[in-house]
Amino acid sequence: MTAWKLAYHANCWGPLGGDAVGVTSINRLAYRTFGDMAVAARDIAAAGYDGIEFFDGNVVESAGDHYAAIRNILADTGLSLVSVYAGGNFIFKDILDEELARVAKAADAARALGAEHLVVGGGARRHDGTRLSDYDALASALDKVMAIAAEHGLKAHYHPHLSTIVENPDEVRTIFGKTAIGFCPDTAHLAAAGGDVAAMVREHASRISYVHLKGWQRDPFAFVPVGRGDCDNGAVIRALKDIRYTGWICNELDAWADPAAGARESHAFVQAELAKV
C-alpha cells in the first residue's frame, strides 16, 4: 500500500468564521472554527485518522498558556498536529506586514505543537477586477511566507481557493511560475473552478508535499465527503500514486450535519481507493 498518512481538518465541528476584531485590526483576522476542538479531535481519532489540522485562530488563542489546551487535546487523542492553516489578502502593500505577523504567530504555534506544515490561502480579488501586478504581489508575499516557515522548521504551502485570484488551472500556473512555495491542492476547490485535478497533480508533481482531499457537488453547489459528488477523488488518488507521492493526506469538509459521520465516510473512501492502487 502507498505510504500515506491520513489526517482530517477540524473545521467541520462548528460555524466557520474569523475574529471580528480583525475588521479593524488586520493582525487579528484569523480563521476559526467556533466549536469544541476537543470533541472534534476525539471524533477524528475515532474515525481512524492519525493527524489533525487546525485553523490558526484555534491554536493561536491558546498561546497564553503555552498551547496547553491544544497539547492536552493531542495527548488525549494520540493525534499528531500535521498543519496549521492561515490566510491573507497578500496583495495590499500597506497591510502586508500585519498579515505576515499573523502568519508568524501561526508558525510559532505550529512549531511549538510539532506540526510539519504551514498552509496559507488567499490573494484578494479587487472590487474593480484583478490586475496583473496582483500576481507579482501575491508571489512576493508567498516568498515571505516561505521564509517564515523556514525559520520555524516548517514546509510552506499555498492552497488555491475559490474567491481568490488563484482558482483555475491557468491562474495556478501563473502563481507557481512566480514563487517557489509548495502546492497544497484542495481537490474540491480546484474542481469547482474547472480544473482536471488529477491532471493538475501530475503537472505540478514536484510542488506537492501535502494534500487536501475534499468532495464537491455541482448542483446544488456544496462540499461533501470525499467519495461523493463531481470531483473524482479516486482519479486524484491514482495520480498521487503515479507521481510516487508520500506524506500526509488531509481530508476536509467545511460543514456537515454529522461531522463525525462525514469524517468516517471520507476515511473509508480513501482507504478503499488506496487498497485498489
**Average pLDDT of the segment spanning 73-101:** 98
pLDDT greater at residue 249 or residue 4: 249
The answer to whether residue 1 scores a pLDDT higher than 50 is no
Query: Model-level pTM?
Result: 0.96
Residue range 115-168, pLDDT digits in tens:
999 999 999 999 999 999 999 999 999 999 999 999 999 999 999 999 999 999
Residue range 22-47, pLDDT digits in tens:
889 999 999 999 999 999 999 999 99
Residue range 209-264, pLDDT digits in tens:
999 999 999 999 999 999 999 999 999 999 999 999 999 999 999 999 999 999 99
pLDDT at 23: 86
Check if the beta carbon of residue 201 is closer than 8 Å to that of residue 213. no
Q: Please, what is the average pLDDT of the chain?
A: 96
Residue range 200-220, pLDDT digits in tens:
999 999 999 999 999 999 999
Domains of the chain: 4-276 (3.20.20.150)
pLDDT at 104: 98
pLDDT at 210: 98
pLDDT at 20: 86
